[in-house]
Structure 1
Amino acid sequence: MAIRLVLFFAVATCAASMRAAEIDGVDLGTINDPLAEASVFLPVDQAFAFSLHLRPGEDGVEQIVARWDMPAGYYLYRHGFRADAEEGLALGELRIPRGEMRTDEYFGKSEVYVGSVEVVVPVIRRAVRTATVRFAYQGCAEQGLCYPPTERDEVLDFGQLRPAASSQTAILLGAAALLVAVLLTVRAMRSRRAVR
């Protein structure tokens, strides 16, 4: 009986408090719920969508191209990018494009990327066909959430790369194709004259 009485008074007190708040013009739906606010922010994989591809470089050096796409309101820090490889793969210095300067409450004045960014990682030496590369990055939401540094392990299959034709080889192939076209045209013209 005592428990029922306590519950009755607790419910009555809550109901009276809510009614008083409504009379005072307080919109109870606008009270900040920290758990509700957390759902406003995207999960890290959606805030910073990561993709990756391999390409042969013009100078014969293989390249890993890491790309991040971000929706409006999210950005990545230049200082957060890192790539580390396992044994059998040596990586060069990251080639990161210029970003925009921004001052925020977490890191002060920083170079950041909005929309998308591609980071090129040259492969200096490779003694394996497949290798795991760990990519690190960090970003924030403009609404006030800074994500912790994120790391992704990606297994790369270098067997899918085809050697790139050097620019000199490409010029020679183009010249050979042009020569063949000219010879075929001359031959066709001679055939027409012979028929007449």
Structure 2
Amino acid sequence: MAYDYYSLTLGRERTAQKALSDHLRGAMGAELAAVFAPVLGFASDTALVLVKDAGGAAAIASAPGVVASEHHSLTPTLRPADDVPPMAGGIYVHNWFTIDGDAVDEFVRLSGEAWPDFEARFETKIFGLFLAAESDADRVSGARRLLLMTRYRDLGEWQTSRDPTSAAMQVFARRRQLTRVSLARACQLIS
């Protein structure tokens, strides 16, 4: 299954994210995987939309309050493996990794190796690790980009999970050697 990920800039209305979510839920139904609103690191006028089956561009473009959009085509790696939606509550950290282009398989393997300990030790759940379609800039620089979406109980749990002594963090340290840049930002699921 393919996914599309949109980073949308919305108008100034205080209820813009909720209005967008309600509109898309009605217009797209089951194609809509999730709508997220910013918590930390995203501009306050942002909404993040994850769509299944690489569809919905027309519904998103015509949605109320959308001023601008950025789009990424994504392919799931180890997760999500089925049609289970993101869990409600908590916060989601969307972490974009830029890695060495030839290291995708190893990066994914290491992620899957670390997740059981990580999820058992902390109140967290990996929703998905997605490989972004290769861009021209990726080809030129020999890089690939992946998006990791992780649910945490709260920001305090995210901080606690940074414990470098855990088995998961030891594996993540090996994964870090493949990483050129990591950009993690927090948001909340609204739909």
**So what's the TM-score if we normalise by structure 1?**
0.28
Higher relative contact order (CA 8 A, sep 6+): 2
**So what's the TM-score if we normalise by structure 2?**
0.28
Larger radius of gyration: 1
